[in-house]
Amino acid sequence: MYVQYRRRVIYLDETDVEILKALTLDARLSSRQIAKQCGVSIGTVLSRIKRMENEGIIRGYSALLDQEKLGYELTVVSEITVSKGRLLEVENEIARLPNVCCVYDVTGLIDAVIIAKFHNREELGKFTKRLLAIPFVERTNTHVVLTSIKEDFRLI
């Protein structure tokens, strides 16, 4: 598998992919457990993980949380239209807001898509008003998610 990072093409072999799969399913696994699972030595696991960290393929480790159990009952997808070529400036400001999970530049009739989570409608209302108060935000169109069929960013 070839991946591109900062205009460099990086080759990931089957062992790299198997290590990434193991870490994606459970980042708490020890190097010994990963080595056993992948059929390679501990040294191989350690050196491969270090290389993938250095190349930016592995950017960090975290726990997968059940957002609803933490009280985030509302998920929204907000479409944003920005004026006067200030898209990156606006997106960076939005990315710093609490509750924002994702900020995407998109093609089409809108400029950006925001995914955010909230405890209640009051929080969502304040967030929407805050978005509209950001200079150069022309318009927002917010969709409330009714049912999450799949929400998983683990692709490997």
Domain CATH code at residue 20: 1.10.10.10
150 is a domain residue: no
Q: What is the pTM of this model?
A: 0.82
Q: Is 79 exposed, middle or buried (0-12, 13-18, 19+ CB in 10 A)?
A: middle
Same domain, 35 and 92: no
Strand arrangement, sheet containing 74-82: 100-105, 112-118, 74-82, 137-144
39 is a domain residue: yes
- Give the model confidence (pLDDT) of 117-147 as tens digits: 999 999 999 999 999 999 999 999 999 999 9
61 is a domain residue: no
Average pLDDT over residues 61-86: 94
User: Is pLDDT of 10 > 90?
Assistant: no
Q: Which domain holds residue 44?
A: 2-54
In this structure, what CATH number is given to the domain that contains residue 104? 3.30.70.920
